[in-house]
Structure 1
């Protein structure tokens, strides 16, 4: 994984899927036609490299299994447009809808309606608060990813102390909230590091850049920043570069988009915590097909994370995200 042995042990699992919690098998109920060969995929945002990578793998798996996959996504990671897309898909009545819910509460009612119409619901990346709707959920272990980000930052800093900032996206987003929580809990174990209050960027790179710039001015001892997703990491990298602080303030980003990988290579970012969206997409389709056929599926599965640095990035290139299939 990386040259630091402590992180090597944490990241070496190569994103193997493993059931978590009680290992409860999901109830595949509903009046689904077992011969329905149509699937729908609704990701969280069109063109976002994580979701592009997930969709590419899902399309490939669906074709290999003889199924049609209708993939759609909202322009932004917002509930209203995704709900509208979902309404149109429900009316076409696929055998299953594979979805990354953009709101863990507001999407419950339309997805419950889909379930009532005999459509199996498979959650990928994000999940509803109501666990009774989806037959199965697949996502990265985001809390562990936040912990790994903190451990990576500590390794990069060595004995150096100072202030550390986490940048979250929108309050109430299950994935980034878990990443921030894991990061905060891990950083608190290190008394030489002062954890600043987590800031919210509304998922806008420009807002992330503004926050980092003001934090640098108010805290000249800032030594580390964690961006919980692509946009926060890219915005933070811009601010640090503009301030001439790239490499002086260690930046750990989340996800491995083409832009983030370029930033890692040129030194604007010091580490990335990568997920495996292709694994999630492929397995999401496989479980959707199993649910349509009335076969049992694991209710919840988490995938592990990979810590990528400039030292090991060429060896970990299989985890770089795609901008197109």
Structure 2
């Protein structure tokens, strides 16, 4: 889950000419022949992670002869995302690609769409109930957290001290898994002690205040792991304001343009980059396979990459996009 600064993102639609088969239920589950329309509902508007995902999905949809519409909520919020799901109404797409903003609260609205015969593909985040989606595509977020802990330990070296974990919102499957994986892996490094996981409600200002408070209460703070873009930006601002940028090692998640710039100028010491374009591509592939009666893979994972200032230019293909 990846998340970013809230801004407007126009809904994207690509009209495609290629042909193919596919059936899906309409209102009440009645079959609709040759429905070639897919809808992507990401977690939030204008976030480079989700834009990159959309780009990958759009390209694959065009390749396979389907259209893709994107409709994103203005904030990473279950109520706002529910409105987007409900707006599909009596003319649903053949398949819905969705990044659930809450692993429990989004169950009912997604079930209602599925009851109309729509194929459900989870991208990035997922529901706790595994019976609804045909396929879930995500990074291995637990492994991503573990990679972040290993990376931070390498950056710190043998220095002893405390480490703060900044997560987003309880119930967000991706970032919660990252925080848990990081905390468990950190136990392998006896010189590093976790001071716990703090939630920021996915607001940079909250993350900044948490870092400011931690710097005051924890003089031996040597590292921070921020589980997504907003927490990372807030953490970077907090460290910058305290004159601690580069002294406290900051490992962020994702590789948005602002994070990449921060890595280059020393506000971040490492980023754990996902491959959102691949997630979007695979999401469309699985949706089309489900629609055309071909085998579907229930769970797929996309690769993760540890970026530092030393290796970032050699891995620039993993930098996220702001437009397709």
TM-score by length of 2: 0.89
Q: 1:296 to 1:244 in 2, by over 3 A?
A: same
SS at match of 1:297: coil
For 2:319, the equivalent position in structure 1 comes to 320
Match of 1:223 in 2: 222
Tell which deviates more after alignment, 82-91 or 68-77.
82-91
Q: Distance in 2 between matches of 1:169 and 1:263?
A: 20
| CA shift digits 1:253-306 (9 cap, x unpaired) | 000000000000000000000000000001101111111112120111122310
TM-superposed deviation, 1:33: 4.6
Q: Secondary structure at the match of 1:316?
A: helix
Asked if 1:281 corresponds to 2:280, the answer is yes
2:307 is matched with: 308
Measure, in 2, the Cα distance between the counterparts of 1:194 and 1:314.
Answer: 32
Give the secondary-structure state (helix, strand or coil) at the position aligned to 1:198. Answer: strand
Gaps of 5+ in 1: 1-27
- 2:62 — aligned with what? 63
C-alpha separation between the residues in 1 aligned to 2:213 and 2:109? 41
The aligned counterpart of 1:153 is: 152
Aligned pairs for 1:1-325 within 5 A: 33=32, 35-325=34-324
Q: Residues 118-159 of structure 1, C-alpha deviation per residue, up to 9 Å, x if partnerless?
A: 110000001111111110000110000000000000000111
Would you say the 8 A contact 1:44–1:101 is kept in 2? Answer: yes
Deviation digits for residues 59-93 of structure 1 (CA, Å, limit 9, x no counterpart): 11111222111111000001112111111224222
Checking the alignment, whether the CA contact within 8 Å between 2:141 and 2:174 is kept in structure 1 is yes
- 2:5 corresponds in structure 1 to none
Cα offset for 1:34?
Answer: 6.1
Change (3 A) 1:31 1:130: farther
CA–CA distance in structure 1, aligned partners of residues 191 and 92 of structure 2: 56
SS of 1:103 mapped into structure 2: coil
- Provide the C-alpha distance between the structure 2 equivalents of 1:275 and 1:113, rounded to a whole number of angstroms: 31
- Aligned partners of 2:314, 2:66: CA distance in 1, in Å? 34
**C-alpha separation in 1, matches of 2:265 and 2:41:** 34
Higher relative contact order (CA 8 A, sep 6+): 1
Counterpart Cα distance in 2 of 1:56 and 1:183: 29
- SS of equivalent residue, structure 1 residue 211: helix
Separation of aligned partners in 1, 2:31 and 2:236: 48
State the Cα distance separating 1:57 from its structure 2 match: 1.1
Paired residues in the alignment total: 298
Q: Aligned in 2, Cα 1:111/1:32: closer, same or farther, shift over 3 Å?
A: farther
1:32 Cα offset (Å): 5.5
Say which SS state the counterpart of residue 196 (structure 1) adopts: strand
The alpha carbon displacement at 1:171 in A equals 1.0
Q: Within 2, Cα distance between the matches of 1:164 and 1:151?
A: 13
Q: Show CA shifts across 1:235-268 (max 9, x none).
A: 1011111111111110000000000000000000
Distance 1:59 1:164 in 2: 40
Report if aligned partners of 2:104, 2:171 keep a CA contact under 8 Å in 1: no
Take 1:157 and 1:263, find their aligned partners in 2: how far apart are those partners? Answer: 18
CA distance in 2: counterparts of 1:202 and 1:81, whole angstroms: 15
Alpha-carbon distance in 1 for matches of 2:60, 2:223:
40
Q: RMSD between aligned alpha carbons?
A: 1.4
The C-alpha deviation readout for 1:170-218, integer Å capped at 9, x for no partner, is 1111111100001000111111111102111111111101110110111
Offset, 1:35: 2.4
